[in-house]
Structure 1
Amino acid sequence: METVDVSPQYKATSLSALSPTASHIACLSGARLQIRSLATFELDRDIPLPPSHDLRRSQIAWSPPSTSPTGAPTPPQRLSALPPRSHRFLVADDDTTRVYDLRDEKWNAVINNGSGGMGKNINVEFGRDENEVLVWSDFASRVIVWSLKTGRTVEIRDPKFSGKESRGWGYRHCDEEQDVCGRGSVLALLCRSSGVDTLMLLAPGTYAVIKRVELVTQDAQGIRWSRDGRWLAVWDAASVGYGLSIYTADGHLYRTISREPSNELNEWGIEGLGIKMVQWIPGNEWLAVGGWDRRVRMLSTKTFAPVVYLDHTTQISIPSASVYVEQVDARGFRSFEFAQQPATPPKAPAEKNDTGLMKQGIGIMALNKDGTICATRDDSTPTTVWIWDLCSLQPRTIIILHSPIKALQWHPSYPSHLLIQSTHDSPTLYLYTANPSSSSTSPTTNSATGPPSILSLSDSFTKPAGSAPAKWTAGWLNTAADKKPTMVVGHQQGYIFVWPEGKDQVLRFEGQEGDESDDSLYDILTGRTPVPPLRDSVKRRSRGSKDSGEDVDDIRVETVQGLDSMGNFEDTFREKRGARSRGSRGRSRLDESGLDEMF
């Protein structure tokens, strides 16, 4: 691995959010909402929040990616040349939601909870696209869909969950060619009324009820669309047994799946707990179901019958897999050693009045981009990572860390890069790089892979002020496959960017200050990368929200006219010429010469 590059530390509070396309990061710094470009690492927006905003109970969300550079519809000839971007972002507290737009600093929308008496705003998300906002009220009373175009609302009663982490709701996935903007089409929402679980299928845009389905579950715990939008998986609570239902896209029950007969019956003839997590595997061929019995079942999407079992044993004796154990010496130096088999991973420590039953089952499961490698953690052995090759259907590498594992994240573009985060008191991360043969589509006999690299970032961080311990977070940026991987690491008072394999060498246009694209001049001139749109030559700073702080049960959208018919985007020649001929009226004949189409 090359030398690790680290950016300077930026101030923030414990709240920050990356845009889905990794073009910007939003964070709260004191009483200000700051938007920083991840191409130039400069502040694009610095928005002061009103004193009435509750900073301790705030949340930030980004809109789904959109290809529209302005508020107006994009001309068809320009649509394919523009990369998707998340243009809108929101900050919300218990009573008020404020929405802003990167393309227009004077545009903002304010959604006030009013005096409806339905509780506080427990969760706020963007809807199908950047023009919809979903607001969940407390006590699972309702979810309101706000339209930022018309100001109208649609109220849906009795959602079962608060909507956090997309639990209990999701938009049906669509083909990218048919739906280039937004998340998907039909909204599936899990509701519960009069003790009955109900699946609501709502039409896009109008949110009219397409179908209302009474589920066969006793206590449904979640729903999840398949990646091709053909199936909808609904799983029951673990306490009622192993129950998984597969529905078609139009709401018809296709199959109910139960566990195969087991010999692990107790004296009352009960098998134990059921499903703990469900994930669709990329490629639309398998459905992975992790259970409390420490087994991952791979179901075929043709018959929804189990085709393979991934068992996590208490003793590791797998000749085809390499086992690495982390060693920590008295000085705190960390390293990995190859372990001889059979090896026994350490079990989760038992607490007072703890039976040990709750500390078992598949608690974390992560799949790489092409669905060829799966990383899992069994809660009964929380320091152990199992990395499975789904081509050969056997473990490739087993990693035993010194501390319990907190998160497993595959890179969005690199199918061989796995980020492992544990519960360290110091910012120490582990980067596992799979053998290139493991990401192929055919089985391989040579599965030898080395131990993960250890990234110690203690020297790059300033410890948070106060006596509270640091709460470390880490995650990949959604960078393109031709760019070197980048991750963001932070605590409750700051964050940094880390390039584990070094930075990209980038050439830029002369005078192209503040451009959001990191593409090289070579890629642009050869046609591999579309020409990035240029900003106005004079960079404006935000003057903050125009919210007056009044309590109204309505939405206010403020727009400022003044964008020209071309969407306020000029090519390179117009940008330079405009700086020399400021104050002149009208347009030159060169504007229609077609020079803007050369690149």
Structure 2
Amino acid sequence: MDLTSSFTYTVNCAPQVSGSGRYIAYVTGHQLIVRSTSTLATKRIITLPGDFARRALIIRWDKCIPDSSEQRLAVATADEVRTFSIDNGGNGERIEDTGREGATILPGKEEIANVEWWSCRYSSEESNGNNDSQIVRLAVFSRAALKTSIWSSDGLELEIASPKIASTLKGCSRGFSVLTRPYSSDIVQSLQLESLAISREKKLVRSMTLHGCLDVKDAKWSRTGNWLATIDTPAMGYRVSVWGADGTLVHTYHGINQDLVEDGELGAQTIEWIEKDDREYLLIGDMQEQVIVLDALTYQPTAVIKHGSLIETENEIPIWIEDTSSTHGLSYRTVTNPFYPPRTAKEYGMDLVEVSRDHSLLATQVASMPYTVFIWSLDGQNTTLLTCITHSSPINDLTWNPDSSALLILPTEGGIIGVWNRNSPGAPVLKELTLISPDFGNLHSAEWISPTQFLFYDSRSFALGQLIEDYPHDSYPSREGSPALLQDDDTNVRDLVNGVQQSEWAEDPDLIGMDDTFHRLSVKPT
């Protein structure tokens, strides 16, 4: 694993990677910086108002149309959102990008909790059915759960009252759904944005009332959009319900051992949909520290994944532990089974349930054994424990690569990051981040940029990592911390790598135009 040098960013405003993976944006000082992820060369420097830059909390790229010629992003404070574009629009874009100042959205008195792009392509009557047009929308969620406001170039288009969660429901790619509670029942409000773009009518496409649910804690659409799974409050016991797209309650699952479920102590905690061999399954993680694989057709468990305090398998599997005694730096070493993972007292439940993009692998972490990552093979009908990896501190986050079988592992302490790869025959990789900077602290999060590259950051700094064992390109390590890969899109990168310092990897701000996604839109609510 190779690591770049680190960059500092404004506290509380985490850096974000664009939908195409080509750029990374962050705020530092009074500037919004956009860099190339392949070379770290600066692509844009946008000077922000001083007070706005100091209060910046959220950066969001528009990832709804990743192959769009225009790369849009939004920066938000607690009471204001500014939108920008780093490329000219095209391909029938409705919004012309001719301005030089960021568009401003002022949602009112409500504090902003989250911002999401809701852009889409659509077929207009003039395009003869070709998806050559786009419409850009931005959803702003209020922190007090009062409303979700949807903005576009026309101003405030739509408001959804009383969102329970400050984000859209995951799963379905047909549109966007928000879980709300405007009255005494939970309601899922769904929007088909392509239809909304064509008709220009400011109304919801579908509204589903979840009758019989006391207080829904989580909801997820299946990938096909045919089913919605919900978890009710533990006060109702073990209740996982499956709903049809028309709002019909299809089935309610109460767990394997219903007699053991009393007063909600052993209720469900997490749900994830997977699809194997054209068949859908629902993964249910519960307080008994087990993951139930439920067939969405028969509503019967096909497999139960249990996390025991003793790891002992008939087939020898690799068991890795963090080696803190090595004189050659941090690494993993193997131990033989039977193996007893470190435990904590009187804590139970599923902390992390992460499924790979192709639904073939599952990574889990349980509350009673927070130091250990369990990695399983999934095929719908059967599950197999592939390996477990134990660390000296609890696990903070697990992230699968969307294009491979690599898993990022982030322990909460020690300033380290681990990578496990099913296709790599050797040991998992463990890297100490103090090699980049002695000030690099415990990681907050990480995300994949490409099959071999990832972003990671702590409370004030970020850097990029590169997996190099299977990488065919030549590296150019003239300067410590320089990018390992040289891309053709920056012809001057060799000169930059040879002699230019981090602070100089920039263009003159006065020479760089700042495009306006919403064409100088500045709208105050009436």
TM-score of the aligned structures, taking structure 1 as reference length: 0.70
Query: In the alignment, which residue of structure 2 is the partner of 1:73?
Result: none
Structure with the bigger percentage of strand: 2
Distance 1:363 1:451, change over 3 A: same
Instruction: Give me the whole-angstrom Cα distance separating, in 2, the residues matched to 1:510 and 1:288.
Output: 43
Corresponding pairs, count: 459
- Answering whether residue 149 of structure 2 is matched by residue 144 of structure 1, we say yes
Distance 1:9 1:199, change over 3 A: closer
Q: Deviations over 1:75-113 (max 9, x none)?
A: xxxxxxxx4567100001122110001114735321112
Q: Deviations over 1:536-594 (max 9, x none)?
A: xxx951359899x9996159xxxxxxxxxxxxxxxxxxxxxxxxxxxxxxxxxxxxxxx
Moved more, 122-131 or 326-335: 326-335
Report the alpha carbon displacement of residue 157 of structure 1 after superposing the two structures with TM.
1.1
Question: What letter is aligned with 1:158?
Answer: S
Query: In the alignment, which residue of structure 2 is the partner of 1:570?
Result: none
Query: In the alignment, which residue of structure 2 is the partner of 1:499?
Result: 466
Report the alpha carbon displacement of residue 313 of structure 1 after superposing the two structures with TM.
0.9
Instruction: Give me the whole-angstrom Cα distance separating, in 2, the residues matched to 1:211 and 1:287.
Output: 23
Query: In the alignment, which residue of structure 1 is the partner of 2:221?
Result: 225
- Answering whether residue 105 of structure 2 is matched by residue 111 of structure 1, we say yes
Distance 1:322 1:508, change over 3 A: closer
Distance 1:123 1:508, change over 3 A: closer
Query: In the alignment, which residue of structure 1 is the partner of 2:9?
Result: 12
2:401 counterpart (396, 407, 411): 411
**Secondary structure of the equivalent of 1:458?**
helix
Distance 1:201 1:207, change over 3 A: farther
Contact 1:298 1:307 in 2 (8 A): yes
Instruction: Give me the whole-angstrom Cα distance separating, in 1, the residues matched to 2:63 and 2:409.
Output: 27
Question: What letter is aligned with 1:458?
Answer: T
Percent identity over paired residues: 24
Q: Deviations over 1:279-319 (max 9, x none)?
A: 11244532211111101001112223211000011222222
CA RMSD of aligned residues (A): 3.1
Query: In the alignment, which residue of structure 1 is the partner of 2:355?
Result: 367
Report the alpha carbon displacement of residue 158 of structure 1 after superposing the two structures with TM.
1.4
Instruction: Give me the whole-angstrom Cα distance separating, in 1, the residues matched to 2:321 and 2:489.
Output: 51
Distance 1:103 1:511, change over 3 A: closer
Equivalent residues in 2 for 1:87-486, closer than 5 Å: 87-104=71-88, 106=99, 108-114=102-108, 117=109, 119-129=110-120, 131-148=136-153, 150-163=154-167, 166=168, 169-170=169-170, 172-173=172-173, 184-185=174-175, 187-204=176-193, 205=196, 206=201, 208-215=203-210, 216-262=212-258, 264=260, 270=263, 272-283=265-276, 285-320=280-315, 321-329=317-325, 333-348=329-344, 350=345, 356=346, 359-391=347-379, 393-415=383-405, 417-426=406-415, 428-435=416-423, 451-463=427-439, 470-479=441-450, 485-486=452-453
Report the alpha carbon displacement of residue 59 of structure 1 after superposing the two structures with TM.
0.8
Instruction: Give me the whole-angstrom Cα distance separating, in 1, the residues matched to 2:105 and 2:341.
Output: 51
Moved more, 206-215 or 189-198: 206-215
Report the alpha carbon displacement of residue 58 of structure 1 after superposing the two structures with TM.
1.7
Instruction: Give me the whole-angstrom Cα distance separating, in 2, the residues matched to 1:410 and 1:399.
Output: 15
Instruction: Give me the whole-angstrom Cα distance separating, in 2, the residues matched to 1:474 and 1:138.
Output: 22
Distance 1:172 1:324, change over 3 A: closer
Instruction: Give me the whole-angstrom Cα distance separating, in 2, the residues matched to 1:52 and 1:456.
Output: 36
Equivalent residues in 2 for 1:537-548, closer than 5 Å: 540-542=511-513
Contact 1:12 1:27 in 2 (8 A): yes
Instruction: Give me the whole-angstrom Cα distance separating, in 1, the residues matched to 2:256 and 2:103.
Output: 53
Instruction: Give me the whole-angstrom Cα distance separating, in 2, the residues matched to 1:546 and 1:285.
Output: 39
Instruction: Give me the whole-angstrom Cα distance separating, in 1, the residues matched to 2:327 and 2:490.
Output: 50
Larger RCO (CA within 8 A; separation ≥ 6): 2
Distance 1:546 1:239, change over 3 A: closer
Query: In the alignment, which residue of structure 1 is the partner of 2:65?
Result: 66
Contact 1:246 1:253 in 2 (8 A): yes
Query: In the alignment, which residue of structure 2 is the partner of 1:23?
Result: 22
Contact 2:271 2:285 in 1 (8 A): yes
Query: In the alignment, which residue of structure 1 is the partner of 2:32?
Result: 33
Distance 1:271 1:471, change over 3 A: closer
Distance 1:478 1:304, change over 3 A: farther
TM-score of the aligned structures, taking structure 2 as reference length: 0.79
Report the alpha carbon displacement of residue 229 of structure 1 after superposing the two structures with TM.
1.9
Contact 1:369 1:411 in 2 (8 A): yes
Instruction: Give me the whole-angstrom Cα distance separating, in 1, the residues matched to 2:310 and 2:489.
Output: 61
Question: What letter is aligned with 1:319?
Answer: E
Report the alpha carbon displacement of residue 16 of structure 1 after superposing the two structures with TM.
0.9
Consecutive unaligned residues of structure 2, counting only runs of 5 or more, are 89-96, 121-134, 475-484, 494-509
**Secondary structure of the equivalent of 1:239?**
helix
Report the alpha carbon displacement of residue 490 of structure 1 after superposing the two structures with TM.
2.6
Instruction: Give me the whole-angstrom Cα distance separating, in 2, the residues matched to 1:285 and 1:35.
Output: 40
Q: Deviations over 1:53-73 (max 9, x none)?
A: 163452111112426xxxxxx
- Answering whether residue 457 of structure 2 is matched by residue 490 of structure 1, we say yes
Instruction: Give me the whole-angstrom Cα distance separating, in 2, the residues matched to 1:336 and 1:497.
Output: 22
Instruction: Give me the whole-angstrom Cα distance separating, in 2, the residues matched to 1:56 and 1:151.
Output: 24
Question: What letter is aligned with 1:307?
Answer: T
Question: What letter is aligned with 1:39?
Answer: S
The structure whose Rg is larger is 1
Moved more, 449-458 or 304-313: 449-458
Moved more, 306-315 or 275-284: 275-284
Question: What letter is aligned with 1:347?
Answer: R
**Secondary structure of the equivalent of 1:382?**
strand
Contact 1:297 1:309 in 2 (8 A): yes
Report the alpha carbon displacement of residue 364 of structure 1 after superposing the two structures with TM.
0.5
Report the alpha carbon displacement of residue 46 of structure 1 after superposing the two structures with TM.
1.0
Report the alpha carbon displacement of residue 262 of structure 1 after superposing the two structures with TM.
4.5
Instruction: Give me the whole-angstrom Cα distance separating, in 2, the residues matched to 1:59 and 1:314.
Output: 40
